[in-house]
């Protein structure tokens, strides 16, 4: 029986990639009680563990199934945003690709005021959580919770693509993009999949192994109404289970890890956000922080379909091969990720049109978009989805970078290594590339940046993830990224949880020492 009044040292909102790591690490201190609140249910559905089952989870109860506002840059289409609503969050329904991002991404964070977040400083946290067989131990961890492997589906591996990329001038094939070299080479994608060929999510890696701890309470189907703030101090959380409202109080801290779309929503419902917007929603303003919900960034993908001599069959994964490149629009970090699939992935067969010829698929993915959007409240009702406007392809340079990626793909397909595959372009074909991009591009479900870390006027949290102007409240998830990483974001979210836990424990150890010595 739930009590309507409870006290915990730490309350974590959201059991996604970051939240599961936090729950594991903070509850390792037997003297600290931890409450983990998850709006979704348990991760027992067999399609979660099945590495080919993720597509069948989209649009189900394990998915928030959110929609954007109509996007002018995408011919006014409203884009579906699949986001995990289940233990493990999106790490339980994603395609399991493990990409840390580029070293330059984290160095840029540091330059923008996030001290302590340079690549050199975050690398140890990546290594601590990983169990990767092979690779340079200077860059990879062994014995951590997350099982990692190079593309475990042999059907998805394409030596032809790797060699063709090299022939097109992209250095050596078979490179480790999470290692020392991260740009202008092709390699096999790495995946968070365990030795039994099952999904390794935040829940399976970090939560289930410690669920027995007496000081850890995990509540599912618990949707947060608001964070309770008294005198600019976070003191607790109101949440709802089965239409009953409960209150939990935090002795030490509340940590918000609900993701880049839900975390700003919860802050605004709690009176923390842009004053004018909160006034419009008739929400009492606790802290006027204009940056809450702003700076929304997301990766954008567009497919290219080629006829081939023979397509791969019975593949369980979405893809297996990757190339990270810098277009002429950047000198900073790779702004384009190219994935290659030598056939139609079995999970996607029900979703794709039937092709009369064998095909292979390229994805051109914009991983450093210049366009910025925002998340706003649709109402003051906690149960209503937020208004999400990513502003996709608002900046012309985003379309131009994707168009250059299309030409890079076309060049790769002309290389000798592809001769045996006898490829010819089907889509976009003769359609003008810029038109095709606006008509057919979509999200790859990596929203970030809406509670950004930094020191400028638009920042929401400081370098220790503490919400500006509010004590005992932190945000730890993809929303804190000042700039989105160049690649799939889940690996960075795991790292954020690991680093956040270390900072929280360090800060409270200092507080305890001050108290003892006073």
Pick the closest to residue 201 from 24, 464, 11 (CA basis). 24
Q: Does pTM top 0.75 for this prediction?
A: yes
What's the per-residue H, E or C state across 202-261?
HHHHHHHHHCCCCCEEEECCCEEEEEEEECCEEEEEEEEECCEEEEEEEEEEEEECCCCC
| Torsion-angle region of 92 (φ positive above 0: left; ψ -120 to 50: alpha; else: beta) | alpha
pLDDT, mean over the chain: 95
Report pLDDT for 416.
97
Pick the closest to residue 219 from 91, 42, 21 (CA basis). 42
Report pLDDT for 517.
55
Distance of CA 228 to the CA centre of its chain: 27
| CA dihedral (206, 259, 476, 132) positive or negative | positive
Q: How far is residue 39's CA from residue 53's CA, in Å, rounded to a whole number?
A: 22
At 100, give phi and psi (nearest 5°): -70, -30
DSSP state of 479: G
Report pLDDT for 350.
78
Which active-site residues does the annotation give? 446
Report pLDDT for 181.
81
283, 435 in Cβ contact below 8 A?
no
* Residue tagged 């840390």 (tokens): 100
Q: Is 181 exposed, middle or buried (0-12, 13-18, 19+ CB in 10 A)?
A: middle
What one-character-per-residue DSSP string does 147-211 give? EEEE---GGG--HHHHHHHHHTT---SS--TTSS--SSEEEEPEE-B-TTSBB--HIIIIIGGGT
User: In angstroms, how far is the first alpha carbon of the chain from the final one?
Assistant: 40
Q: How many other C-beta atoms can be found within 10 angstroms of the C-beta atom of residue 455?
A: 12
b (16+ CB within 10 A) / e for 218-248: bbbbbbbbbbbbeeeebbbbbbbeeeeebeb
> What Å distances lie between residue 162 and 168, 169, 240, 323, 503, CA to CA?
10, 11, 51, 8, 40
Per-residue pLDDT tens over the stretch 192-213: 999 999 999 999 999 999 999 9
DSSP state of 50: B
* Residues of the chain where predicted confidence (pLDDT) is lower than 70: 1-5, 511-518
Report pLDDT for 514.
59
Report pLDDT for 1.
43
Stretch (H or E) spanning 433? helix 433-440
Q: How far is residue 462's CA from residue 114's CA, in Å, rounded to a whole number?
A: 7
Residues contributing to the annotated binding site for FAD: 86, 224, 445-446
Question: Angle between the 433-440 and 396-413 helix axes, to the nearest 10 degrees?
Answer: 110
- Cα R_g (the chain), whole angstroms: 22
């Amino acid at each position: 029986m739930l009590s309507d009044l409870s006290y915990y040292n730490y309350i974590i909102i959201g059991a996604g990639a970051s939240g599961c790591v936090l729950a594991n690490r903070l509850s390792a201190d037997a003297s600290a009680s931890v409450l983990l609140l998850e709006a979704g249910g348990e991760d027992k559905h067999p399609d979660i563990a099945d590495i080919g089952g993720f597509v069948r989870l989209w649009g189900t109860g394990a998915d928030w199934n959110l929609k954007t506002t109509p996007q002018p840059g995408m011919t006014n289409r409203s884009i579906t945003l699949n986001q995990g609503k289940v233990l493990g969050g999106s790490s339980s329904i994603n395609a399991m690709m493990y990409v840390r991002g580029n070293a330059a991404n984290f160095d840029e964070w540091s330059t923008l005021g996030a001290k302590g977040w340079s690549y050199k400083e975050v690398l140890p946290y990546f290594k601590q959580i990983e169990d990767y067989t092979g690779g340079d131990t200077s860059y990879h961890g062994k014995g951590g919770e997350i099982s990692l492997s190079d593309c475990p589906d042999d059907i998805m591996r394409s030596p032809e693509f790797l060699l063709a990329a090299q022939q097109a001038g992209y250095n050596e094939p078979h490179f480790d993009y999470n290692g020392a070299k991260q740009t202008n080479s092709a390699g096999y994608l790495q995946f968070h999949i365990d030795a039994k060929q099952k999904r390794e999510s935040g829940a399976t890696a970090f939560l289930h192994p410690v669920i027995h701890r007496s000081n850890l309470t995990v509540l599912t189907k618990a949707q947060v109404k608001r964070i309770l703030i008294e005198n600019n101090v976070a003191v607790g959380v109101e949440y709802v289970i089965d239409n009953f409202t409960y209150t939990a109080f935090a002795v030490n801290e509340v940590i918000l890890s609900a993701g880049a779309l839900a975390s700003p929503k919860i802050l605004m419902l709690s009176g923390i956000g842009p004053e004018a917007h909160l006034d419009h929603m008739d929400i009492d303003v606790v802290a006027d922080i204009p940056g809450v919900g702003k700076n929304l960034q997301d990766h954008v993908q567009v497919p290219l379909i080629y006829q081939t001599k023979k397509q791969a069959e019975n593949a369980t994964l979405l893809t297996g091969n990757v190339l990270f490149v810098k277009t002429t629009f950047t000198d900073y970090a790779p702004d384009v990720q190219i994935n290659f699939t030598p056939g139609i992935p079995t999970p996607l067969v029900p979703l794709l049109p039937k092709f009369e010829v064998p095909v292979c698929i390229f994805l051109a993915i914009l991983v450093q978009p210049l366009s910025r959007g925002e998340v706003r409240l649709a109402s003051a009702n906690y149960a209503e989805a937020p208004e999400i406007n990513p502003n996709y392809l608002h900046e012309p340079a985003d379309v131009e970078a994707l168009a250059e990626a299309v030409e890079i793909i076309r060049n790769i397909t002309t290389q000798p290594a592809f001769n045996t595959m006898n490829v010819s372009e089907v889509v976009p074909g003769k359609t003008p590339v810029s038109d095709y991009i606006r008509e057919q591009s979509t999200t790859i479900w990596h929203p970030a940046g809406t509670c950004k870390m930094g020191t400028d006027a638009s920042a929401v949290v400081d370098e220790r993830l503490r919400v500006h102007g509010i004590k005992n409240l932190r945000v730890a998830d993809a929303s804190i990224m000042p700039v989105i990483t160049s690649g799939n974001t889940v690996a960075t979210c795991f790292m954020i949880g690991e680093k956040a836990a270390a900072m929280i424990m360090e800060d409270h150890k200092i507080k305890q020492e001050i108290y003892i010595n006073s």
